């Protein structure tokens, strides 16, 4: 049950003084969304810089190896979010400060513990595999705890309605990344770039402890998991099915077409980087904002989700259209040898992002409603479509076929998300009427 504010207890800034939906409430929403965009812009600039640096420095094949480690990190990150920070955002957005601090300590400790456990698995696996791939995974295992801790602080700050701190934290990561990349470039290996990227995130994770004044409680992880297993278990499966589908597609593409194809796909995705910064930035705050809309004006939740998803879809189309106008010389300046193959994928990758943008609006609504079962069903269906489309397309048409298969899959998955949101909104309305009649 979501903790309620008690009289006389200080609340985090995210909690409104009342149920107002007037100009002041709208300004609060815009302010929090703006900090989400600013924060993700800082984070995405760092990620974009790493991707471009590796692509230009090491070539297509080495970039493919780096991308395999990157995709694996995405799976681990979603494990952490499902167990730790997703329940934190859903149940501790705008609660009393004391409750938030207690929850943030346990959630960040859960994220750190997840990084330590899965990092050890990655390191051992990498050492066993050997070679460039093994080295990349061994280095990933070393930096996973810091990466997950830094991400946990971002979500904790947004749950508290203090996106400015999340933005500053990502700026610290970006500043620490500059000298780390310079050192990695002198070494000239994929593993060095993984260590540079993750090591600078660890600096920001440590700074997050200073910002919040909270020490991650790894010993509180068991209590946190037990208290929120109703949401955590479903969100874990949902998140892992999402990122796991990307991982399966990447591994399968590497087997069917070659490791270089993974680098080409990643290069095309980097071209969508600035827009993805918007999409990911909104995702940091959309669930919390949808939960606030549900509390203040539940009849407006569907409209909020539609504006959110539709706006992202239109923005993706505009950005993809702009990419088609980029001359080859400019593209080669950014991605080097990766540009020639990646530029052929702009249209299908853009359409895939359009489908994903539409789906995020519905996903935010389902999570705000606490409809974890419907959310899980939607994600499992979307992930299955993603794997089938990505690998089936690869078998039929190589790298380009995989991109088009994923584009079709994301559009189908988005339709299912919206179907489940519509049903969940109807059920919520019926339950509300029933409660009114019985009181």
The mean pLDDT value for 365-387 works out to 84
Helix (H, G, I), strand (E, B) or coil at 312: helix
Which has more confidence, 11 or 436?
A: 436
Q: Which two tokens stand for residue 16?
A: 């409104």
Q: Residue 113 burial (CB < 10 Å; 0-12/13-18/19+)?
A: buried
C-alpha–C-alpha distance, residues 405 and 252, integer Å: 14
Residue 225's Cα: distance from chain center in Å? 21
173 CB-near residues (< 8 Å, 6+ apart):
42, 43, 46, 150, 200, 201, 203, 204
Contact 359, 413 (CB under 8 A): yes
Cβ-contact 349, 269 below 8 angstroms: yes
Most confident option among 38-47, 133-142, 319-328, 371-380: 133-142
Closest Cα partner for 365 from 410, 409, 417, 416? 417
Q: Mean pLDDT across the stretch 60-82?
A: 83
Can you tell me the mean pLDDT for 348-370?
86
- Which of 130-144, 263-277, 282-296 holds the top average pLDDT? 130-144
Are the C-beta atoms of residues 269 and 64 closer than 8 Å to each other? no
CB neighbours of residue 8 within 10 Å: 6
Cβ 128 vs Cβ 134: under 8 Å: yes
CA–CA gap between residue 424 and residue 368 (Å, rounded): 11
Query: How sure is the predictor about 430, in pLDDT bands with cuts at 50, 70 and 90?
Result: confident
For 17, which DSSP code?
S
pLDDT > 70 in the chain, percent: 83
- What's the pLDDT score for residue 143? 95
Average pLDDT over residues 144-153: 95
130: which DSSP letter? Answer: -
- How far apart CA 202 and CA 208 sit, in angstroms, is 10
Q: Are 103 and 212 in contact (CB under 8 A)?
A: no
- The whole-number pLDDT of residue 3 equals 35
Q: What is the pLDDT of residues 94-108, one digit of tens each?
A: 778 888 899 999 999
Does the structure show a pLDDT above 80 at 240?
no
Of these ranges, 209-218, 295-304, 331-340, 423-432, the one predicted with the greatest mean pLDDT is 209-218
How many whole angstroms separate alpha carbon 118 and alpha carbon 235? 18
Distance CA(153)–CA(130), nearest Å, equals: 33
User: pLDDT by residue (tens digit) across 413-426?
Assistant: 999 999 999 888 88
Q: What percent of the chain lies above the pLDDT cut of 90?
A: 24
The candidate with the shortest Cα–Cα distance to 430, out of 329, 310, 336, 298, is 298
Task: Using the predicted structure, report yes or no on whether residue 261 has a pLDDT greater than 80.
Answer: no
3-state secondary structure of 386: helix
Averaged confidence pLDDT in the chain = 80
pLDDT score for 40: 65
pLDDT of amino acid 166: 87
**pLDDT tens digits along 174-205:** 899 889 988 988 887 888 889 998 999 999 99
* Bridge partner list, 11: 96
Q: Report pLDDT for 33.
A: 58
Listed range (153-157, 207-211, 265-269, 311-315) with the worst mean pLDDT:
265-269
pLDDT tier, 311 (very low <50, low <70, confident <90, very high otherwise): confident
């Amino acid at each position: 049950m979501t903790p309620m504010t008690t009289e006389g207890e200080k609340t985090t800034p995210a909690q409104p003084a009342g149920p107002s939906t007037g100009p002041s409430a709208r300004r609060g929403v815009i302010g929090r969304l703006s900090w989400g965009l600013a924060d993700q812009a800082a984070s995405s600039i760092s990620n974009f810089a790493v991707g471009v640096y590796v692509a230009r420095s090491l070539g297509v094949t080495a970039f493919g190896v780096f991308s395999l480690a990157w995709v694996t990190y995405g799976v681990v990150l979603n494990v952490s979010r499902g167990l730790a920070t997703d329940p934190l955002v859903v149940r501790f957005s705008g609660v009393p400060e004391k409750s938030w601090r207690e929850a943030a300590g346990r959630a960040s400790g859960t994220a750190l513990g997840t990084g330590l456990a899965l990092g050890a698995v990655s390191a051992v696996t990498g050492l066993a595999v050997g070679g460039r791939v093994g080295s990349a995974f061994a280095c990933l295992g070393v930096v996973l705890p810091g990466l997950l801790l830094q991400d946990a602080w971002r979500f904790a700050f947004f749950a508290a309605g203090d996106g400015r701190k999340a933005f500053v934290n990502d700026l610290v990561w970006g500043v620490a990344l500059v000298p780390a990349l310079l050192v990695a470039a002198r070494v000239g290996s994929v593993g060095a770039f993984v260590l540079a990227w993750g090591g600078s995130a660890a600096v920001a994770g440590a700074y997050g402890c200073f910002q919040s004044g909270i020490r991650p409680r790894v010993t509180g992880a068991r209590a946190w998991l037990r208290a929120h297993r109703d949401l955590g278990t479903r969100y874990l499966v949902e998140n892992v099915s999402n990122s796991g589908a990307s991982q399966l597609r990447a591994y399968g593409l590497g087997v069917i077409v070659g490791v270089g194809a993974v680098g080409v796909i990643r290069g095309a995705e980097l071209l969508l980087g600035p827009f993805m910064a918007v999409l990911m930035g909104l995702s940091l705050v959309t669930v919390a904002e949808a939960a606030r809309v549900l509390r203040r004006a539940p009849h407006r939740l569907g409209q909020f989700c539609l504006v959110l998803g539709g706006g992202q879809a239109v923005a993706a189309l505009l950005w993809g259209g702009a990419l088609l106008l980029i001359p080859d010389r400019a593209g080669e300046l950014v991605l080097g040898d990766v540009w020639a193959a990646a530029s052929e994928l702009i249209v299908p990758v853009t359409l895939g992002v359009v489908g994903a943008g539409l789906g995020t609006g519905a996903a935010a609504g389902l999570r705000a409603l606490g409809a974890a079962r419907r959310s899980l069903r939607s994600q499992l269906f979307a992930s299955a479509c993603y794997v089938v489309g990505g690998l089936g397309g690869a078998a039929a048409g190589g790298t380009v076929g995989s991109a088009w298969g994923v584009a079709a899959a994301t559009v189908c998955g988005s339709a299912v998300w919206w179907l489940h949101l519509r049903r969940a909104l109807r059920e919520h309305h019926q339950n509300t009427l029933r409660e009114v009649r019985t009181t």
